[in-house]
Structure 1
């Protein structure tokens, strides 16, 4: 199936053309980082307006780059949720209108489902596996027994890991988005002896909590007599990242072993973090497990990742009606399982 896919769940507008849920012919992303940087985070209304401005020309460019004419498309997939409701409505409404005009089926896809299946665009990972979806809005662990077969094992009880990275970066005056900046500073490996807490690490469940880490950084900064210099800021960033990575890796490995799974797929924007990649790869190998990460372009929000599930469902006769609505909250385990 030749599929057009659209992603607009937050602040990235993305359009892709994918053949058979595996061959990416084009995958374009229009970033809004500069638009939101001045506010230190995403402003939902501004995000929605920018999606409206760019989605039509982005579709035209994605088709041109793929060498595909609209009439050749056999289906359309778009993110239905979860995400910012206004942003979601732009992509989903466009997808419904475009599919109706072409007379092809349309399917609404779960954003996190797209992330955890994105690896299939680069290599075939055999089911079952443990999926860790780690991003600015989510930190979830799932057992994945197949497409549409997901069981939630654990999740954050407050902030997502990526959200905590951005908020700590803002405290340190590092700018937005903060995750890549903290990762760069942490590569020095110098934490200055600073140790931040590891919430819920000793609990038997697989839930996470990052709000306490964020508060610990804030309290540490408030306790300083003088404003930290660049070296001190880098040490705080390193200590914070070390704490987050420690919790993530140990909980992920513990969950995989408890479920008897030997493959771990890490997805979402935080999967780009070099500390997480290196530490989890090493520790997983020590336990006889394999940690698998998509390339950075497929970790970020992108439309191509939706095509794996979109093609699977559409090719089996499943489709969404034109009355399908966007949803800001949507448990993955409720998806066609």
Structure 2
């Protein structure tokens, strides 16, 4: 079974082809990705209308590129999958519309995929795929969640953010420090030059006794500290960046360890853009190694949004009988969509 996956939920256009043969993990044949970062930098963040228009320009050339790389034709594709949500409504509509048009033109069934499920299953694309069950830390954009994953489509929410997500804390703190867009990677790069113990920043809900997160207070503390520094901010910017990154990483690691203890599981998956953070990986790997816990990540280039994770999630759902692709080409999208309802 060949699955063509299309991702267009925000500011990356992704297309990929995955092959599922037999009971094993589906295999990624090729993927293409276009990032809109350069286009949105002038505005300091994603402009939804511009994002949608750029998806229109990119999705078909990327599809042609992926098919050419694999030597396959559109007629050989068995299922066309696309991101149905959550995400920007206009951007989602582009991917859904193209996928359903391709399906209708070739009489192939289509399948809408949950964006976060794509991230959740993205470590199965790696050379060291996990095995069920596991605890998953999803840290993607506006989402920070801990989940127990017993199989494809069998997800139990353990905890989530009650306000800002980890990715938003990175991006908003970076903006306060004047680091530009995208803020998270810029803050992490600057943090490598600073002293993480230079400023005592809060670790919200660290000792709350539950598995929920809150990062809005941390962002406010960064703002307060930046104002206190005044003219000294430029000279201390790296220290403040390092202290901010350390606070976010500590909360994510401690809550993840608490989730492992609560479930008794010995395997963990970290997925989403923040999962590429160097400090988070170092601290989580060290802590889990002491506990005899295996940690799995997607490959670094597949941490951000991409078509490979959408094709993989669709293939795994179809293999497991958790979804049925249809030849109903009328489509809708879900800009807000709770993963627990999938």
TM-score by length of 2: 0.94
In structure 2, the partner of 1:245 is 249
CA distance in 2, matches of 1:30, 1:197: 37
Please state if 1:125 is matched with 2:133: no
- What is the match of residue 196 of structure 2? 191
How do 1:169-248 and structure 2 match up within 5 A? 169-188=174-193, 190-191=195-196, 193-229=198-234, 231-248=235-252
Per-residue deviation at 1:133?
A: 0.7
Aligned to 2:142: 137
Deviations 1:41-98 (A, max 9, x none): 1111111111111111111111111211111111111111011111001001111110
SS in 2 for 1:79: strand
1:101 counterpart residue number: 105
Give the 4+ runs in structure 1 shifted more than 3 A. Answer: 313-317
Match of 1:35 in 2: 39
Give 3-state SS (helix, strand or coil) of 1:226's partner: helix
Q: In structure 1, what is the Cα distance between the partners aligned to 2:193 and 2:228?
A: 24
Count residues in correspondence.
334
Of 305-314 and 50-59, deviating more is: 305-314
Retained in 2: the 8 A contact 1:7–1:301? yes
- Contact 2:103/2:329 (8 A) holds in 1: no
Task: Verify the 8 A CA contact 1:313 1:319 in the aligned structure 2.
Answer: no
In 2, distance between residues paired with 1:11 and 1:68? Answer: 27
| Local SS of the residue matching 2:229 | coil
Structure 1: distance between partners of 2:281 and 2:129 = 19
Answer yes or no: is the 8 Å Cα contact 2:79–2:325 preserved in 1.
no
Structure 1 residue runs without a partner (length 5+)? none
Q: CA deviation at 1:314?
A: 3.4
User: Normalized against structure 1, the TM-score is what?
Assistant: 0.96
The corresponding residue for 2:3 is: 3
Q: Which among 261, 266, 270 is matched to residue 262 of structure 1?
A: 266
Deviation per CA, 1:202-231: give whole Å up to 9, x if none. Answer: 1111110111100100011112241422x4
1:319 maps to which of 310, 325, 342: 325
Find out whether 1:284 has 2:288 as its counterpart.
yes
Structure 1 residue matching 2:34: 3-state secondary structure: strand
The counterpart of 1:328, out of the listed 318, 324, 335, is: 335
Offset at residue 22 of structure 1 (A): 2.2
Instruction: Check whether the contact 1:37–1:175 (CA below 8 A) recurs between aligned residues.
Output: yes
The 1:220–1:70 alpha-carbon spacing in structure 2 relative to 1, beyond 3 Å, is same
- Secondary structure of 2:45's match? coil
Q: CA deviation at 1:27?
A: 0.9
CA RMSD of superposed structures (Å) = 1.4
Q: Does the CA contact (< 8 Å) of 2:6 and 2:311 recur in 1?
A: no
Unaligned runs of 5+ in 2: none
